[in-house]
Amino acid sequence: MTITYSCIANGRVILAELALTGGNYQDAVSSVLKLVLLKAEKKTTARIGSYVYHTLLIDGITYLCATDNPLDVTLPSAFLDEVSRTCSENPVMFQESFPPSNAIVADFQQVLGRCMMKHNQSQGEFMISDLKSQVTDVKNSMSQNIDKMLKREEKRNILIDRTDNLQVAALATPCTDHCPNLTSQTNKS
């Protein structure tokens, strides 16, 4: 999963935004911001088109990101938490009563970019570690199955040896109880 777009908004006014891929996010973001203001919930998720929009609303400021995977909510949540923490450390952008200057917007775009790259990269590392874990599980399972097969083979060989021993013993032991003719013939010799 990749975070492809993010923005910071005050109400419905976008203060800073950054898109890693081409696309028209404006209409969808406008709809999501309207939804956030109507619901007034801390966290909101909306699927529009092929993207899922995750939001975090804190003190009237909306932190928003768009992802391409509808199943994962942990990565966007961690991303939005980090962006909100970083922005709360530098509240200049939100204290101005007029639109923020280009320098402040550029600073916050850099914050968005760093956080997006960090979380997109960590998602890849998570997937790799998850695959490594799955491979380890398969190896362990195969080793256990091989051990079980070897034990079964060993038991089978023991049973075959015992069967062979019984057959040899049966051939070597003369039949005395059920074969009276054989007993009398062996006594005469």
Tokens representing residue 154 in the block: 């060993």
Of the pLDDT bands very low, low, confident and very high (cuts 50, 70, 90), residue 56 is very high
CA gap 6, 52 in Å, rounded: 12
φ/ψ region of 43 (left if φ > 0, alpha if ψ in -120 to 50, else beta) reads beta
Structural domains in the chain, CATH included, are 3-130 (3.30.450.50)
**DSSP string across 8-24:** EEETTEEEEEEESS-S-
How many beta carbons lie within 10 A of that of residue 183, not counting itself?
A: 14
Q: What are 81-138's pLDDT values in tens digits?
A: 888 888 777 665 555 555 555 555 566 667 777 777 776 776 555 556 566 666 777 7
Residue with tokens 């023991």: 158
